[in-house]
Chain A
Amino acid sequence: MEGAAIATSGLTMRFDDFTAVEGVDLQIEKGELFGLLGPNGAGKSTIIKMLTTMLRPTAGGAVVWGYDIARERDAVRNSIGVVFQDPSVDSQLTGRENLDFHGRMYGMDKKTRKARVHEVLELVDLTEKAEVLMEDYSGGMQRRLEIARGLMHHPHVLFLDEPTLGLDAQTRRYIWQYIQKMNQEEGVTVVLTTHYMEEADHLCERVAIIDQGKIVALDTPENLKDLIGADIITLEVDDGVTDEQVHAFSKFDGVEAVDRSGSTINLSVDHGESRIPEIVLGASKAGVKIRSVSMHEPTLEDVFLKFTGKKIRESESSGAGMMAAFQSRMRTRRH
């Protein structure tokens, strides 16, 4: 079939008093592992809900695997698998029963179901746990079963909404492996949302950075980080530093950009290691007192900062209360 896996044009979702998603234009290719990165409340989940036909856009539209999300909902639903942000299994059923339920909902006959249940359980290493009740699964196992379930009916596109939210670091690594494996082995197009930069960086072939309902940048993680330059040197300085003194940093060799927020100054620098002595010396000549110096290679966090003027975590604080409530709910459910 011709064309992209997903194409949106001017996709917009307005609720009563605010606009959650505004004029999103996206093209996701077949077979791609694509990430939507942004803070909570940026509109990622709303985009997913529209693409999975759970919400009707208030303006604009989208085509998923050749089908219009508003007019051909059942065809879209047949083409996609969804792993929701919150748990969505029946905890009174076993793993196999949950998969069987799903297969029947998608019209799969008994023989096809049986073979496919076996395949997807193998893929996420849960064959041994097939007959165990979901309520006795750990959080990570439950997530893996949900991924297996999303793949059960051979979808062309699999949506994963915050697939590793609330999981520990080790489990998160495993989930990443499964996602990559199924992207390669099953050839399924994967669209995932995340607010973990390292997840988008590690996993996704292309990343769209989203803030306040709009796409602010879209490229491969490498290209996005290249926008920042080579390295980031972070200086913690005394509060009394003037903007002129800060501006002086931009005159140093190799310094491409200077960015100040409060007592933190970020410098984008080529070959950062070799520039540190120079910068520290220069700073003390200019009368700037440095409390600490650190350096790191650019991350998607820096890209986010560059395009939005804030850190992902800071921009989350507005929705912090909601998020805390949500997380405590997740905890009580997953343990």
Chain B
Amino acid sequence: MARMNIYAIYSLWLREMIRFFRLKSRVFGSLAPPFFFLAFLGYGFRSAAMSEIPQEVNYISFLAPGIIGMTLLFSSTFGGLSMLWDREFGFLREIMVAPVSRISIVIGRTAGGVTTAVMQGLIILIPGIAMGLKISGLGGFLLSLVFMVLIATTFNSLGLAFASRMKDMSGFSLIMNFMVFPLFLLSGALFPISNLPVWLRSLSYIDPLTYGVDGLRGSLVGVSTFPLAFDLAVLAICCAGALGLGAYLFEISDVE
């Protein structure tokens, strides 16, 4: 195991924090899509009946955890891919020439990306509550934080894995449109996946976000398709796998 450089990890994390609070327009920009999804779908389908959603749960309570999952998915994947920007603008070399193990670099970056993604997820929770999301209790809220961290870590690592394999930024929109968007739609964030035809549903089952969204719903609202422990276990395994993959691909990637 390579050694850890605590100062360096902190430095990388702090940089993400400074950038997050400095680039307010970018944060608002990235929060706009999930907010619009929440507002328009939430009000638009408020009274539409969906047989798979339990009677006692209103659509907004069903939707809000899904939209939090969406926020986490998009912002953390973007955070992982932002390594491409660092490479493009030369800052990656400043990081790479320091006497710091690559695993510390991965940990620092990931910690920063996960923190900013979870903060965005929590921001989206506020309009959700305003529109009628009822949180089951403090314990559920704290458990949802665990799910948020796991979701963000998984997709931040996947973003990093892709960024490590890409030479430039041309593949960025491909990943966002053909990986991230399908992951979002398959996850059951907007509707119960049991409404999907069987062949699509099987794709949902291999989407890590499915278990993330289900876990968020279970912990925040108290309604879930799978047992929460099962969601937690599957997501933790996906998270560990993605983290390992991202760290490995970054480890063997070229700086130039």
Pick the contact of A87: B10, B90, B98, B256 (CB < 8 A).
B90
Say if the beta carbon of A173 comes within 8 Å of chain B: no
Contacts of B22 in A (CB 8 A): 92
Complex: A3 Cα to B93 Cα, angstroms: 29
- Whether A89 pairs with B98 at a CB distance below 8 angstroms is no
Pick the contact of B99: A77, A90, A93, A149 (CB < 8 A).
A77
- Whether B10 pairs with A104 at a CB distance below 8 angstroms is yes
Nearest A residue (CB) for B9: A104
* Minimum C-beta distance from A86 to chain B (A): 5
- Whether A93 pairs with B94 at a CB distance below 8 angstroms is no
Complex: A107 Cα to B5 Cα, angstroms: 8
How many residue pairs link A and B with beta carbons under 8 A? The number is: 73
- Give 1 or 0 for each of B11-27: 1 = CB within 8 Å of chain A CB: 10011001100110000
- Give 1 or 0 for each of B72-93: 1 = CB within 8 Å of chain A CB: 0000000000000000011101
Nearest B residue (CB) for A146: B94
- Whether B8 pairs with A88 at a CB distance below 8 angstroms is no
Say if the beta carbon of A84 comes within 8 Å of chain B: yes
* Minimum C-beta distance from A232 to chain B (A): 40
Complex: A126 Cα to B232 Cα, angstroms: 51
* Minimum C-beta distance from A178 to chain B (A): 19
- Whether B89 pairs with A91 at a CB distance below 8 angstroms is yes
Contacts of B255 in A (CB 8 A): 54
Say if the beta carbon of B48 comes within 8 Å of chain A: no
Number of interface residues of B (CB under 8 A): 24
Pick the contact of A88: B5, B10, B11, B91 (CB < 8 A).
B91
Pick the contact of A101: B15, B93, B256 (CB < 8 A).
B15
Say if the beta carbon of B176 comes within 8 Å of chain A: no
Pick the contact of B98: A55, A86, A106, A333 (CB < 8 A).
A106
Complex: A97 Cα to B22 Cα, angstroms: 12
Interface centre among A73, A100, A149 (most CB of B within 10 A): A100
9 closest Cβ contacts across the A-B interface? A104-B11, A88-B90, A77-B99, A105-B98, A74-B99, A78-B99, A104-B7, A88-B94, A86-B90
Complex: A152 Cα to B91 Cα, angstroms: 16
- Whether B7 pairs with A93 at a CB distance below 8 angstroms is no
Say if the beta carbon of B96 comes within 8 Å of chain A: yes
- Whether A89 pairs with B91 at a CB distance below 8 angstroms is yes
Say if the beta carbon of A289 comes within 8 Å of chain B: no
Pick the contact of B97: A52, A90, A93, A101 (CB < 8 A).
A52
Complex: A77 Cα to B93 Cα, angstroms: 12
Say if the beta carbon of A21 comes within 8 Å of chain B: no
Complex: A87 Cα to B8 Cα, angstroms: 21
